[in-house]
Structure 1
Amino acid sequence: MTVAVAWGGLPARFRRLPVVGRLVLAVALTMSLVLAGAAGLVYWRVETALDGQLDEDLATYQQSLNHAVRDGGALPSGPDGSLHQVLDAHGRVLRSSDTVRDQRLLTPAEGAAVAQGATIRRDVGSLLPITPGTLRLRAWRVTAGGQTRVVVAAVQRGHRDEALRELLAQLALASGLTLLAASYVGYRAARAALRPVERYRRGAAALAADAEDARGLRLEVPTDRDDEITRLGHTLNRMLGRLEASAAREHQFIADASHELRTPLTLMRAELDVALHRPRTAEELTGTLRSVDTEVRRLVTLANALLDLEQLGSGEHIERTPIDLGRLLDDASAPYRAAAEREERTLTLDHDRATVHVDPRWLEPAIGTLLDNALRHGSGAILLRAESRDGRLRLSVADEGTGFPPDFLPHAFDRFSRAEASRTTPGTGLGLALVAAVAASHDGTAHAENTPSGTTVMIDIACASPEPAA
């Protein structure tokens, strides 16, 4: 249970480390595994080669002892430091090297097993910790003159063990230095890779701390490269731009609402104060209520226009659908035909036969606003023209009136901007601003101009089929 808890808490502690620390730790752990594997492979190959040489020397010595024991001759000397011992079937030492004399190299159990035909091979002493007199011995049975003999041959392992211990020390040193170097390189690489991220963080923090003074500022992103970090910087700049635009819309909305709503509310308050100041006749109260009703209607119209502009500014309420261009214009112009007939004016449609991808919920009111302006402020015939070319839809409403005042044209699509001649007529001053917002939400523009024959207001928007989502 304790081990499970310890291992279960490790990821949480790992996640609390800084990103650079996690990267360095991951590099260190990975390099440790790689180095351990490589060191293990090298050690195994060297150990195998040394053991092979040692076993080969022991096998050669064994063959010499076999011939000497069978022939009854003198036992030969083997490699430097080698030992031999000959025992009878009962484990008594018959002959041995001077260095061991009567000291038995085999246990009684091992001697009995060899006498029965088994072969014993084992090492005496250990590599680590260091022990003196390390051997590798082999014991086997030999029949000489009808007698069973147990022959033991042993060679020294000192040179082999010393070489392996030196190899372990060298591998540990090399692995340690390599691990330190890899960790340092990983640390420097991680710091270098994350330095732009930290710079972006500081820049974003500065922008957030002083939003007013930082308006229009962006993070510094290199232009001579295109990698993950620079793409992150561009994404953050786009996000900052959208946040700034959203804040600007919010400020504009609040400013417009506070400015334009104050006048009708003040008028309503004045009307009510006068009505409540002294007793009024039913006719006077009715007049007051009608005046208040007019201001309420104006407030509702103004609030709806402001909300429409806010929705269009956010760009999140546009849903393009395919619609026949002729049907779109018929639906948009239908409410204004009767008004044109009452004024004995003509309303003509001229359009291509095409299917366009737009949002009719917004485009129809925009066209209606242009027609309404032409009816109220213009004169003569009205021409609603539309043509679709190269994925763009160009709409225009032209009349034969006197046109816009020259100084008003640059501000025609500003909010609450009204020409002097139209200030005496009902309106909020948001009609053309709404038209411009609808055009912008469809990736287009709105434009007004005076012509020799009157006034023309144009909308140029994208109307191609939207690309399918990936």
Structure 2
Amino acid sequence: MSRLAERTIVTRLVLAVTAAMSVVLLVSGAVVWWRVSFALDRQVDRDLTAYSDVVAGDVRLGHAPPTGTPGLVHQVYDVDGRLISGDAGHRLLRRSEVRAAAVGEEVRREIGSLLPPSDRAQRVRGLRVDTPVGTRVLAVAADRRGHDEALRELLLQLLLAGLAVLAAASYAAYRTAHGALRPVERYRAAAEAADPDQQVALPVPRRRDDEVTRLGHTLNHLLARIASAHEQQRAFLADAAHELRSPLTVMKTDLEWVRGHADDPVEVEESLASLAIQVDRLVELSDLLLDLEEVRAAPAPHEDADVAEVARRVVDRLAPQAHRADRELGLRVHGPARARCDPLRLELALGNLVTNALTHGEGDVTVTVTGHAADVLLEVHDEGPGFPPEFVDRAFDRFARADESRSTRGSGLGLALVRAVADLHGGQASASGSTVRLTVPR
């Protein structure tokens, strides 16, 4: 602590901001890592479970399991751990694990490590299967290299982004502190270079009204009074010098105190506030990526629901946002609109479309629900110019933006999420002009 107190104010402020931002980045990075890792792990487990169900069914009936499935392999053991068949190039389960699975325990193990990268990375599941020729132990494995590579890439991106943010935060803190203390240094230099026989005037900014500026005016008034006293009492120079020693010492103490406490908290707060807005996006990104992954991994919808009621909930929820922008958000329903769908994910997709129209479109926004014989059509229309013709073909791609500038608002994932919901329902998503359509088969 004593060594830190001996450092300059700029250095201490930069270290404090860097430490605070490091904590924020670690926490936000951990959240992003956990959410993405959770989504990737769930997908690997889904693939492994689906493959094990198929292979276990064949083994149970005495059939030969399928081989050559990309990224998935299996092996069959007897209860003593002897390998009977399989298409894996290496043993998936140890003998102790085979014996544990033979008595009904479900065995899981990981082969290979995330860091350092492994040539062979698999997630293995072992389970007991009763067959016409006796009890067998089935081991199935899913290739985890793509999963691990995605996590390693995410870790690298988080590290690079964190270093960039820390550098930006440190630079902003340095510039803020240096700018706040620059007048103090000018005061010091002016006072140091002043001719003792002339009146000293510190270079105080005229159009600022902060603590350092007010101190400069106070010091100038004081220096003016000192100069006046010097002119009036030149004959008493020796006594005046003695009498001025104490006030000069007080002034020096005041200057040192200002140097330690005169940093501008408003500018520092604004700098920290702008850094806080960039995280909220990757979370928001992570949130959108997680939503997108959840939609893609979701089972086929099986609930018979009223699509018009889903649209009504979206309109009721977003109508206040439209009113605040002096715009109207309306709903039109034509014909019965019941369909087999996932209401929550359909509401998520429609909400994205309406929000996009309110954010990027113009004029009133209309949501139209039309029931056809084979499907239900959802349309979101605004009165703006709509999508550029050259952008329509890739509007639903991930991270696609009509404006390629990365400073544009939005993540470029909203329409990709809409397409994922359409694919989940076996429907289609399309756009033309200022209208976006989503069909849901009945």
TM-score, normalized by length of structure 2? Answer: 0.49
Larger RCO (CA under 8 A, 6+ residues apart)? 2
